[in-house]
């Protein structure tokens, strides 16, 4: 089922190769520097995983989470090729062990 109307929530979970507190904070800072400037961003939230949340249902295979709400699917699609987004990827991809993305129209 495809629904391209409404806002799009883009959730990204980064697992770092070296997940020291300093490296996690550095990625958070990079997100703030590069990812909230492209047009169409309604809100952006980024933070470090709370290790104290360790219930059986909690997925702990990430270090930094990023949630961006876009005004539309079109705004998300423009963002994917935006120079700021591409710069962020190029500057940080070598630090990632894995990246998982979950997108939904809300």
* Ranges assigned E (strand) in 33-92: 41-48, 64-70
Q: Any residues with CB less than 8 A from the CB of 42 and at least 6 apart, and which?
A: 7, 69, 70, 71
Q: What is the pLDDT of residues 43-97, one digit of tens each?
A: 999 999 999 998 999 889 999 999 999 999 999 999 999 999 999 999 999 999 9
Binning pLDDT at 50, 70 and 90, where does residue 39 land? confident
The answer, yes or no, to whether residue 38 has pLDDT greater than 80, is: no
Domain range 8-53+60-105, its CATH number among 3.20.20.10, 1.10.3720.10, 3.30.70.100, 2.102.10.10: 3.30.70.100
The answer, yes or no, to whether residue 20 has pLDDT greater than 70, is: yes
pLDDT of residue 3: 55
Quick one: which of 40, 42, 49, 37 has its CA closest to 12? 49
Binning pLDDT at 50, 70 and 90, where does residue 1 land? very low
Q: Is 0.85 topped by the overall pTM? A: yes
């Amino acid at each position: 089922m495809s629904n391209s109307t409404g806002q799009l929530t883009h959730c990204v979970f980064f697992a770092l190769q070296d997940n020291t507190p300093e490296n996690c904070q550095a990625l958070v800072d990079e997100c703030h520097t590069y990812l909230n400037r492209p047009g169409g961003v309604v809100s952006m939230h980024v933070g470090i995983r709370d290790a104290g949340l360790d219930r059986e249902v909690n997925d702990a295979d990430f270090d930094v989470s990023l949630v961006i709400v876009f005004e539309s699917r079109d705004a998300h699609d423009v963002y994917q090729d935006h120079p700021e987004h591409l710069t962020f990827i190029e500057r940080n991809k070598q630090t990632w062990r894995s990246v998982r993305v979950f997108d939904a129209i809300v």
